[in-house]
């Protein structure tokens, strides 16, 4: 029986678990986390990996139909369906009862649940972070950036660019920055240079202090960010 700490949570290597895929399988509507938003409010973050699903609102079905690129549509559907299925477990609501709106800058949020989340997809992998306070998550699959040293030189602070001698270093920095900007809700319009992750799991975005945890999922490099000091207390999939 999975618990909040998540069986399979890798305590030896918790800043960088090898994978969250295949760790815990939770059936839809299992009332495992009912009442847990209160516990989530005190700092923990849960990270979920989503498979395919079809619990979309009419507006989301319409949005999905407009995608020309099939993998992008599948990722959108898996993400939107996944947040409903996971939030149903946290709240006890039916997936169809959860109302999702989007901020002016594009950050989705629940209108009728006191639960924060953020979604990221890359290379066919779809994840989301859930927390009692605002949260940001980003994953990137390696092998898509040709000249990481040049990108880092152009867009990163010189101190950061100096740390980017290979793609893995670059992606660790990039995902931390994107997770921070998605936490702040600005997305990339907030300016990739404005997000300044440190080397110690701390950072700053828009003048505010941020805590960051890095991880790997499948072949992707990832990062979660919160304004609160936090630990990822569970890695789950649905
Ligand atoms: C949001 C953004 C950072 C996503 O980066 P990405 O690496 O391409 O994509 P990811 O898979 O990590 O994240 C995408 C998810 O982030 C979420 N998201 C979108 N805008 C967001 C924002 N401003 N803040 C936080 N999260 C956001 C969504 O859930 C989105 O997935 P979905 O559309 O399938 O629901 C980037 O697209 C961006 O900044 N865009 C500019 C802002 C923009 O275009 N806004 C449009 C509305 S005006």
| pLDDT the model gives residue 62 | 97
Residue 14, domain member (yes or no) = no
Q: Choose one of 106, 181, 185 to mutate for the ligand 1 pocket test, by most ligand atoms within 8 angstroms of C-beta.
A: 106
Is residue 114 a contact partner of residue 205, using CB atoms and an 8 Å limit?
A: no
Q: What is the dihedral of CA 96, 231, 214, 64, to 10 degrees?
A: 10
Q: Choose one of 75, 125, 182 to mutate for the ligand 1 pocket test, by most ligand atoms within 8 angstroms of C-beta.
A: 182
What atom in ligand 1 is closest to the CA of residue 190? Answer: 39
Q: How many domains does the chain have?
A: 1
Range of the domain at 148: 31-237
Say how many C-beta atoms besides its own lie within 10 A of residue 157's C-beta: 14
Residue 199, domain member (yes or no) = yes
Residue 25, domain member (yes or no) = no
Is residue 83 a contact partner of residue 119, using CB atoms and an 8 Å limit?
A: yes
Residue 226, domain member (yes or no) = yes
Q: Encode the chain (238 residues) as per-residue pLDDT tens digits.
A: 233 333 333 333 344 344 444 444 444 334 444 444 445 655 788 888 898 999 999 999 999 999 999 999 999 999 999 999 999 888 888 999 999 999 999 999 999 998 999 999 999 999 999 999 999 999 999 988 778 889 999 999 999 999 888 899 999 999 999 999 999 999 888 788 889 998 889 999 999 999 999 988 888 999 999 999 998 877 888 8
Which residue has a Cα nearest atom 21 of ligand 1?
Answer: 107
Ligand 1 centroid to Cα of residue 180, in Å, is 12
Task: With both helix axes pointing from N to C terminus, report the angle between 58-65 and 70-91 in degrees, rounded to the nearest 10.
Answer: 160
SS3 assignment, position 131: strand
What CATH number should be reported for the domain holding residue 136?
A: 3.90.470.20
H/E stretch holding 71 = helix 70-91
DSSP characters for 3-65?
A: -TT-TT--STTTTS-S--TTS-B--TT-GGGTTHHHHHTTS-EEEEE--------HHHHHHHH
| pLDDT the model gives residue 34 | 45
Residue 196, domain member (yes or no) = yes
> Beta strands 202-205 and 45-49: pairing type?
unpaired
Residue 132, domain member (yes or no) = yes
| pLDDT the model gives residue 39 | 52
Residue 125, domain member (yes or no) = yes
Query: What is the side-by-side strand order in the sheet with 45-49?
Result: 116-122, 125-131, 45-49, 232-237
Residue 18, domain member (yes or no) = no
């Amino acid at each position: 029986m999975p618990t909040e700490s998540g069986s399979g949570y890798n305590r030896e290597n918790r800043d960088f678990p090898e994978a969250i895929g295949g760790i815990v399988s939770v059936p839809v509507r299992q009332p495992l986390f009912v009442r847990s938003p209160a516990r989530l409010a005190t700092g923990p973050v849960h990270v979920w990996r989503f498979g395919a699903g079809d619990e979309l609102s009419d507006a989301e079905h319409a949005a999905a139909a407009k995608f020309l690129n099939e993998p992008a549509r599948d990722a959108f559907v898996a993400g939107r369906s996944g947040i409903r299925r996971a939030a149903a477990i946290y709240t006890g609501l039916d997936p169809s009862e959860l109302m999702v709106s989007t901020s002016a800058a594009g950050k989705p949020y629940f209108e009728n649940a006191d639960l924060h989340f953020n979604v990221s997809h890359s290379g066919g992998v779809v994840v989301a972070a859930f927390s009692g306070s605002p949260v940001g998550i980003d994953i990137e699959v390696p092998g898509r950036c040709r000249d990481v040293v040049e990108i880092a030189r152009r867009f990163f602070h010189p101190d950061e660019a100096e740390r980017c001698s290979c793609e893995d270093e670059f992606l660790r920095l990039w995902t931390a920055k994107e997770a921070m900007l998605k936490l702040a809700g600005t997305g990339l319009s907030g300016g990739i240079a404005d997000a300044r992750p440190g080397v110690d799991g701390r950072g700053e975005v828009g003048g505010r202090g941020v805590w960051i945890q890095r991880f790997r999922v499948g072949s992707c490099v990832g990062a979660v960010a919160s304004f609160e000091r936090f630990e990822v207390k569970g890695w789950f999939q649905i």
